[in-house]
């Protein structure tokens, strides 16, 4: 069989085979780890009872446990979130933040670390001690007293098992007493923690939230992640929201965002709270943050725990059975009866939350008339602030030399954002489809070299995160304006979205497409008029400049114009660009190419470098 022309750039997870059905639970193993103790507590089992091997899978790391749930290899994971002595378990925190994971339950488990070694070992001879890094952090006093070197292991139980093999891995292990007993080790120190009262908060992680934060219900824990521009006072403003709604902060962490160094992400843990108060706080966070993500937390008071059963699927409650246990802020509009209904739509995705300031949609113009200014690349570029932004570059990234030449021209002519297509949806399956990930890296490299943020089109949800690693703005092309799974995925990322109007779409349809993105938390959307299909054939499409005026009246979002795709011929592009500025557009996105007649896509509408220099100078008031 021949290879496909454009193979998928990602390694997709293998589905669970029929011979090995998907387990209900995944924890870090082997059995005897603190996570396995927490799972027994969740299921209401005795600590010495056996776990059903068909229902529980053991993995080697916390991130692996969370990823197993996100990929669908297991239904739920039990992982540590915070320890009383060591603080947040960052491996878990980062794994949850970096994936589509949700916390549906939390429980505190007393932790008693013992120092265990092969029988006959004297404490004073111990020079190496193995355990999970979090356990080693909680027992630093003992390590210093014995002058022992710490050795990292996948879990406390794994450390005990490796020490028991007596193959030189380590002299002793910090583990639970039950793990030591199962490994055949003798307990040398009965309580090895730095201080008494050691306990760990474990969380149950699932893939999809399935219910609501209900008004009147009280929850024992709530966790929310806020992504903000790193500016003075931003944390104080966020914390004031909690105070305003009577919410008590239990803990706060700051986690890095590698792709956006000038942004900061705070993870807030809120103590016992009422559902409506938390919902109101989430709404009030939105104007202060680039993204607000509800991670979940504890179950409502009075909700029963999971009950052990002899049924083979008893450990994996169905969505229907889990409705009263799972917390999610996105509530179906309506009265109290609606609040008890799980906010789930087809495909298992959560229903978005409408605004609570009297508007019907997030895209609707605000009552105070304020307009959204979309910041790109940590505020280096602002679209919608009254200036006229230039976005320019080739239709497709074709080579390193070509995109380098375009980037150099863009930097010289005052371009705000470098454009370049790397995944190209073409009418013909035989036409050039773009360089894919290779082109994406070339585009990003050229942009960095010349100090320019870059925008590129993303075609499907599976590509969103990969494109966001390299691009500062993600574009939804005209053919994908109705790709609702893609729009929903873009609502979950911390990147501005450039949304083009479909070639046969009404303005209402364009606004509802934008609503899909805004309603899921991403408020940085730029609308683009790029021409619509009419009976006229003199141009490729008919540029609807009235759309700019109407959209400015109906929405607070910035609006730019694409004269290149509307015209289809480069001689028409300059006058249409001037017209876009005249009707009040916030900018234009134009195709340029060093040799348009040899371009691999849309050459007839691409401007030459000389033509672009003259047009850019005219639009910005400079000289060519």
Q: What is the pLDDT of residues 85-131, one digit of tens each?
A: 889 999 999 999 888 888 988 889 999 999 999 999 999 999 999 99
Percentage above 70 pLDDT, the chain: 85
Any idea which of 80-94, 190-204, 349-363, 587-601 has the lowest mean pLDDT? 349-363
Residue 243 lies inside a defined structural domain of this protein: no
- Mean pLDDT, the chain, rounded, equals 84
12 assigned to some structural domain: no
Q: Are 234 and 444 in contact (CB under 8 A)?
A: no
pLDDT of residue 417: 97
* Helix extents (H) in 329-421: 336-339, 400-412
Query: Given a cut of 50, is residue 324 above it in pLDDT?
Result: no
Q: Is 69 a residue whose pLDDT tops 70?
A: yes
CATH number at residue 388: 3.20.20.70
From 74-83, 99-108, 122-131, 605-614, the region with the lowest mean pLDDT: 99-108
Query: Quick one: pLDDT at residue 186?
Result: 95
What was the pLDDT predicted at 27?
Answer: 93
Q: Is the pLDDT of residue 341 over 90?
A: no
Going by their DSSP bridges, the two strands 263-270 and 249-255 should be labelled as: antiparallel
With respect to residue 39, please indicate whether it lies within any of the assigned structural domains: no
Q: What is the mean pLDDT of residues 412-430?
A: 89
Mean pLDDT lowest among 92-96, 399-403, 491-495: 491-495
| CA distance between the termini of the chain | 55
pLDDT score for 8: 28
- From the CB of residue 223, how many other CB atoms can be counted at a distance below 10 Å? 24
Domain final residue, candidates 197, 220, 237: 197
Residue 48: burial class (beta carbons within 10 Å; 0-12, 13-18, 19+) = exposed
DSSP reduced 3-state for 393: strand
Task: Residue 192: give the domain boundaries.
Answer: 112-197
Whole-angstrom distance, CA of residue 339 vs CA of residue 24: 28
The pLDDT assigned to 471 comes to 94
Residue 393 lies in a domain: yes
Of 166 and 143, the structure prediction assigns the larger pLDDT to 143
Number of domain units in the chain = 2
Q: How far apart are CA 64 and CA 81, in angstroms?
A: 15
CA–CA separation, 208 vs 199, rounded Å? 28
Q: Is 63 a domain residue? A: no
Give the Cα separation of 171 and 479 in Å (integer). Answer: 63
Percent of the chain with pLDDT over 90: 55
Look at residues 172, 197, 222 and tell me which one is the last residue of a structural domain.
197
Give the domain CATH number at 140.
Answer: 3.40.190.10
- Considering only residues 220 and 576, tell me which one the structure prediction assigns the higher pLDDT: 576
488: its two tokens: 């929903």
Give pLDDT, residue 494: 86
Q: Which residues touch 556 (CB under 8 Å, ≥6 apart)? A: 363, 364, 365, 366, 370, 371, 372
Task: Tell me whether residue 540 is in a domain.
Answer: yes
- 121-143 mean pLDDT: 94
Q: What is the pLDDT of residues 4-20, one digit of tens each?
A: 333 323 232 333 334 44
| DSSP code, position 137 | H
Q: Flag whether 289 is in a domain.
A: no
> Is there a domain that residue 36 lies in?
no
pTM over 0.75: no
Q: How far apart are CA 248 and CA 242, in angstroms?
A: 7
Strands 559-561 and 128-131, bridge-based pairing: unpaired
Q: What is the mean pLDDT of residues 231-251?
A: 89
Q: Both tokens of residue 274?
A: 């009422």
Residues with Cβ within 8 Å of residue 464, at least 6 apart in sequence? 458, 474, 486, 489, 490, 492, 493
Split at pLDDT 50, 70, 90, the class of 354 is low
Mean pLDDT within 173-200: 92
Element (H, E) at 591: strand 587-591
Of 206-215, 371-380, 442-451, least confident by mean pLDDT is 206-215
Q: Vertex 539, ends 535 and 542: CA angle to 5°?
A: 60
Gyration radius (Cα) of the chain, Å: 28
- Residue 414 backbone phi and psi in degrees, to 5: 80, 20
Domain boundary among 149, 182, 197: 197
Specify which of 23-32, 81-90, 261-270, 528-537 reaches the highest per-range mean pLDDT: 528-537
Q: What is the mean pLDDT of residues 388-395?
A: 96
Quickly count: other Cβ atoms within 10 Å of residue 359's Cβ: 14
Mean pLDDT lowest among 47-61, 125-139, 150-164: 47-61
């Amino acid at each position: 069989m021949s290879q496909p022309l454009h193979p998928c750039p990602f390694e997709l997870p293998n589905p669970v085979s029929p011979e090995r059905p998907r387990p209900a639970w995944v924890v870090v193993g082997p059995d005897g780890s603190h996570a396995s103790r927490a799972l027994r507590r969740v299921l209401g089992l005795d600590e010495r009872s056996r776990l059903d091997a068909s229902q529980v899978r053991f993995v080697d790391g916390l991130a692996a446990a969370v990823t197993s749930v996100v990929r669908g290899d297991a239904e739920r994971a039990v992982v540590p979130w915070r320890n009383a002595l060591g603080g947040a378990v960052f491996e878990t925190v980062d794994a949850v933040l970096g994936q589509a994971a949700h916390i549906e339950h939390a429980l505190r488990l007393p932790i008693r670390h013992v120092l265990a070694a092969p029988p006959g070992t004297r404490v004073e001879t111990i020079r190496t001690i193995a355990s999970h890094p979090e356990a080693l952090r909680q027992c630093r006093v003992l390590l210093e007293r014995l002058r022992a070197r710490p050795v990292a292991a996948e879990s406390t139980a794994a450390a005990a098992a490796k020490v028991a093999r007596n193959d030189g891995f380590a002299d002793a292990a910090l583990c639970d007493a039950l793990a030591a007993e199962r490994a055949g080790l003798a307990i040398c120190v009965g309580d090895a923690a730095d201080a008494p009262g050691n306990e760990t908060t474990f969380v149950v992680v699932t893939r999809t939230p399935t219910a609501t934060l209900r008004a009147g219900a009280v929850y024992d824990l709530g966790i929310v992640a806020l992504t903000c521009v790193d500016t003075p006072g931003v944390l104080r403003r966020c914390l004031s929201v909690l105070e305003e709604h009577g919410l008590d902060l239990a803990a706060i962490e700051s986690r890095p965002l590698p792709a956006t160094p000038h942004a900061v992400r705070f993870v807030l843990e809120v103590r016992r709270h009422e559902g409506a108060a938390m919902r109101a706080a989430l709404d009030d966070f939105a104007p202060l943050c680039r993204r607000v993500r509800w991670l979940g937390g504890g179950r409502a008071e009075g909700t029963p725990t999971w009950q052990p059963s002899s049924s083979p699927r008893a450990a994996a409650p169905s969505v229907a059975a889990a409705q009263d246990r799972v917390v999610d802020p996105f509530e179906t509009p309506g009265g109290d009866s609606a609040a008890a209904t799980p906010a789930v739509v087809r495909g298992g995705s959560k229903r978005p939350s409408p605004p609570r300031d009297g508007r019907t949609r997030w895209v609707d113009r605000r009552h105070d008339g304020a307009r959204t200014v979309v910041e790109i690349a940590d505020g280096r570029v602002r679209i919608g602030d009254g200036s006229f932004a230039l976005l320019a570059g080739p239709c497709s990234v074709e080579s390193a030399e070509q995109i380098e030449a375009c980037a150099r021209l863009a930097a010289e002519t005052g371009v705000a954002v470098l454009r370049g297509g790397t995944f190209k949806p073409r009418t013909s399956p035989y036409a050039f489809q773009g360089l894919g990930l290779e082109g994406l890296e070339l585009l990003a490299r050229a942009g960095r070299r010349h100090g320019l943020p870059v925008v590129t089109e993303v075609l499907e949800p599976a590509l969103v995160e990969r494109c966001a690693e390299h691009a500062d703005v993600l574009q939804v092309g005209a053919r994908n304006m109705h790709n609702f799974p893609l729009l929903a995925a873009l609502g979950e990322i911390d990147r501005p979205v450039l949304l083009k109007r479909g070639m046969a779409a009404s303005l209402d349809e364009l606004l509802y497409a934008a609503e899909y993105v805004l309603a899921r938390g991403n408020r940085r959307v730029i609308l683009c008029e790029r021409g619509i299909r009419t009976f006229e054939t003199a141009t490729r499409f008919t540029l609807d400049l009235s759309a700019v005026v109407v959209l400015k009246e109906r929405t607070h979002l910035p609006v730019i114009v694409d004269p290149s795709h509307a015209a289809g011929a480069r001689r028409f592009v300059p006058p249409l660009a001037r017209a876009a500025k005249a009707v009040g557009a916030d900018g234009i996105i134009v195709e340029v190419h060093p040799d348009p007649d040899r371009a691999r896509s849309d050459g007839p509408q691409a401007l030459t470098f000389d033509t672009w220099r003259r047009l850019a100078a005219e639009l910005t008031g400079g000289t060519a």
